[in-house]
Structure 1
Amino acid sequence: MTGALGTVFVANRGEIAVRVVRACRDLGLRSVTCYADPDAGSPHTVLADASVRLPGDTAAETYLAADALVRTALAAGADAVHPGYGFLAEDAGFAERVRAAGLVWVGPSPDAMRALGDKVSARAVARAVGAPMAAGTDRPVTGPGEVEAFADEHGLPVAVKAARGGGGRGLRVAWTRAEIPDLYASAVREAEQAFGAGECFVERYLPRARHVEVQVLADDAGGVLVLGTRDCSVQRRHQKLVEEAPAPGLPDALRTVLHDSAVAICRHAGYTGAGTVEFLVGADGTASFLEVNTRVQVEHPVSEEVTGIDVVVEQLRIAGGARLPVTGVHPVAGHAVELRINAEDPSRGFVPSPGTVARLRLPGGPGVRVECGVAEGSSVGLGFDSLIAKVVVWGRDRDQALARARRAVAETEVEGVRTVLPVHRDLLRDDAFTGPELRVHTRWLEEEYVPAPDGPDVGRRATAGVVRVGRRRLAVPLPGMPSITGPAADAAREALTGAGDGAGGAGIPHDLLVSPIQGSVVRVLVEDGRHVGVGEVVAVVEAMKMENPVRAGVAGVVADLAVAVGDSVAQDAPICRLVADPAA
């Protein structure tokens, strides 16, 4: 069934490594995982037949060290390498290294990865087969001037997007011409950090668009199996939070166009293995090709639940030379929803929340499936992504799936780190998501979502007001009210103001700007004496593969700037003070 495969080396971590280990066991294959020092003792190291230490603490030293991973796979006696998602999963050079070492690569060929993994060349493939597509550049742009010229020709808003990789990293949307230079620089910087290459292209951005994708499997004989559609429109920072299958509310004609386009793109590129063809669907029903993810995706379980096809098992079978048991469009039965449980703080705009998982209670019962990569005592660090677990529910229809999802999140408990669970609980009661007409879109959480009175305080603190600057919601401390309280706030206040215990724990003064997260400073855009306006970016702090802009909540003059590029900062650590401008 899997040809010459006997031992599979999993070049990844967390819940996807656990998922691959279980698929190997279902097929009677031996699995070997690897781990960085912070992941020692994690579930993916315990469940595998063997696990090998990769010396180092950071992603660059371990899960991104291509040559070291190949050497480790060979030393472990592996026949094949499964890359999971993220890290090197879409790196054609890594796939070539694996093959050159005599190992089987569980994924598409390096040529297909290059043709479809690079968004510019993928657009060329989509254009060649007649897939629907918005206007965009046919090559990477060389600077912000080209982005501005594109915006002048095609109009705003425009999206600057990393040519490689996915997951929303290296993606910035410009709504005004003036913000293009900074957003272009940010996209390039994040693309370099995430994918090792900063090339970006630009395309027309569709406001209020839904994110709809097609799951495919393809074998070496040219067979392609479509496992239906998914809707992944509930996102923050262009990264998915909730996914469901099939995508609700699509006209049959449009669903057929998306299915046919996905098949044509895969056949044109000679694609094999599991892949996802992604589209945007505008508010007017206009569809536009987005990209191809040349790997298994985080949200693959919802497609499995409605089709009964094990995507990871099929990946392994195809890599071992087997053909697909069926081709064409697989029928779907029922409805499935996946909720990503991330270690993030919704009250601070979904910033990462590192720490140790002190308590973990996961749901069960009819129709509930959980994919988890941590256990009680596991550390959720800044160096890797924030995903703790995925709660996947199935129902005979969408209403039953949503009811089971409400039950599942009510049973789920995570302590030690903040999570997005309050948002999920609130979302599952919001008519925009649960009603007969799906009204969510990729920017809905940032632009339109209003928490229920007893729901999470998203995007604001209880002691802060909220204002809109353009399309952004900003937390603004109210006069005379503290913006942050607690030990970290007290330390930060004392560091810049000299206030001690006599302040009575009133919190950070409203003129003090602090880091929303623990992380590394990757950009400082001001200096002492510089005037900044409300909403202006003062610095950028990176953690868990995400850049977090630190914006001014009030207008003022920068004083006592406390950070520089390369500094490590704690959550609530002081960035600077903003002194009222006498001339304002």
Structure 2
Amino acid sequence: AEDPGRGFLPTPGAITLFDPPAGPGVRLDSGVVTGSSVPGVFDSLMAKLIVTGENRQQVLQRARRALKEFKIEGVATVLPFHRAALESDDFAGKDRFNVHTRWIETDFAAMPHAMERPVQAEDPSIQRTYLEIDGKRVSVGLPTVLLSALGKVGTVSPIGSDSAAVQKDGEIAAPVSGTLQSFKVEDGQSVSEGDLLAVMEAMKMETQIIATKSGKIRLLVKEGDYLQAGAALMSID
């Protein structure tokens, strides 16, 4: 459950579809199904796809088919990267096998685009309460999501979708759902573009938050808070 287009950032969340491949030479080891949840406190591994065959060419053909049929929705996955890697000349070995430990960083040129973050489903339930209108007590039904939002006025709310659509100018958003491990700056401190501002932790991986511009920092959350991807961490004025 990692997004190759965002530097393999982990993406915890709910799996809305888990449809694995099958067939000759295809084996799957997994501990998740449709409806499972990938938490942010464990490793991001969801499944291992193992493909065998009589020779390497047959294995590549079977692996390409299996990866094409494999469907996981609800969280970002490394499936697009695996599909692209198996189509590369370096991996397929038309001349020779040219994959090495720095291959992704130095030679691999077909990295998939960042995947769209899933929008959190709204709660359709209704809560009944009472209002006084013109001196009369009236029973009304209000959406739970509305009451929840009213209860959070003045606080920072998690953003379920990609923060680019709603992020205010100067705000620094969480790039991944996880725990804010530490701030590297203090409230009111002046910073320069490129400075390290904070470190988040998700699925045993640390992600650095870097200043996108110069200015004065205003902290919006606390160390130790668990935040959804896109939630505002701080602002730079």
Length-normalised TM-score, structure 1 = 0.31
**Equivalence map 1:372-383=2 (5 Å):** 372-383=30-41
Deviations 1:125-174 (A, max 9, x none): xxxxxxxxxxxxxxxxxxxxxxxxxxxxxxxxxxxxxxxxxxxxxxxxxx
Counterpart residue type for residue 113 of structure 2:
D
Counterpart residue type for residue 110 of structure 2:
P
Q: Which has the larger radius of gyration?
A: 1
- CA distance in 2: counterparts of 1:420 and 1:519, whole angstroms: 19
1:387 aligns with one of 30, 35, 45: 45
**What SS class does the counterpart of residue 219 from structure 2 fall into?**
coil
1:400 aligns with one of 45, 54, 58: 58
CA positional deviation for 1:510: 5.8
Aligned to 1:366: 24
**What SS class does the counterpart of residue 542 from structure 1 fall into?**
strand
**CA 1:485–1:354 in structure 2 vs 1: closer, same or farther (change >3 Å)?**
closer
**Equivalence map 1:120-199=2 (5 Å):** none
Deviations 1:240-284 (A, max 9, x none): xxxxxxxxxxxxxxxxxxxxxxxxxxxxxxxxxxxxxxxxxxxxx
**What SS class does the counterpart of residue 446 from structure 1 fall into?**
helix
- CA distance in 2: counterparts of 1:387 and 1:357, whole angstroms: 13
| Number of corresponding residues | 197
Note if contact 1:368-1:408 (Cα within 8 Å) is conserved in structure 2: yes
RMSD: 2.9
User: Does 2:234 correspond to 1:572?
Assistant: no
**CA 1:355–1:446 in structure 2 vs 1: closer, same or farther (change >3 Å)?**
same
Q: What are structure 1's unaligned runs of at least 5 residues?
A: 1-342, 463-483, 497-504, 580-584
User: Does 2:113 correspond to 1:457?
Assistant: yes
User: Does 2:176 correspond to 1:517?
Assistant: yes
CA positional deviation for 1:429: 0.9
Deviations 1:56-90 (A, max 9, x none): xxxxxxxxxxxxxxxxxxxxxxxxxxxxxxxxxxx
**What SS class does the counterpart of residue 428 from structure 1 fall into?**
helix
Return the structure number with greater relative CO, CA threshold 8 A, min gap 6: 2
Note if contact 2:18-2:73 (Cα within 8 Å) is conserved in structure 1: yes
CA positional deviation for 1:509: 4.7
- CA distance in 2: counterparts of 1:522 and 1:511, whole angstroms: 22
Aligned to 1:526: 185
Deviations 1:457-481 (A, max 9, x none): 15xx89xxxxxxxxxxxxxxxxxxx
Aligned to 1:412: 70
Counterpart residue type for residue 577 of structure 1:
S
Note if contact 2:196-2:209 (Cα within 8 Å) is conserved in structure 1: yes
**What SS class does the counterpart of residue 109 from structure 2 fall into?**
coil
Counterpart residue type for residue 398 of structure 1:
R
Residue identity (%): 40
Aligned to 1:170: none
CA positional deviation for 1:486: 6.7
Counterpart residue type for residue 443 of structure 1:
R
Q: Going by fraction, where is helix more abundant, 1 or 2?
A: 1
Note if contact 1:369-1:392 (Cα within 8 Å) is conserved in structure 2: yes
Q: What are structure 2's unaligned runs of at least 5 residues?
A: 121-148, 157-163
Moved over 6 A (4+): 484-487
**CA 1:447–1:524 in structure 2 vs 1: closer, same or farther (change >3 Å)?**
farther
**CA 1:411–1:486 in structure 2 vs 1: closer, same or farther (change >3 Å)?**
closer
User: Does 2:92 correspond to 1:434?
Assistant: yes
Deviations 1:335-367 (A, max 9, x none): xxxxxxxx1222322222222222111111121
**What SS class does the counterpart of residue 83 from structure 2 fall into?**
helix
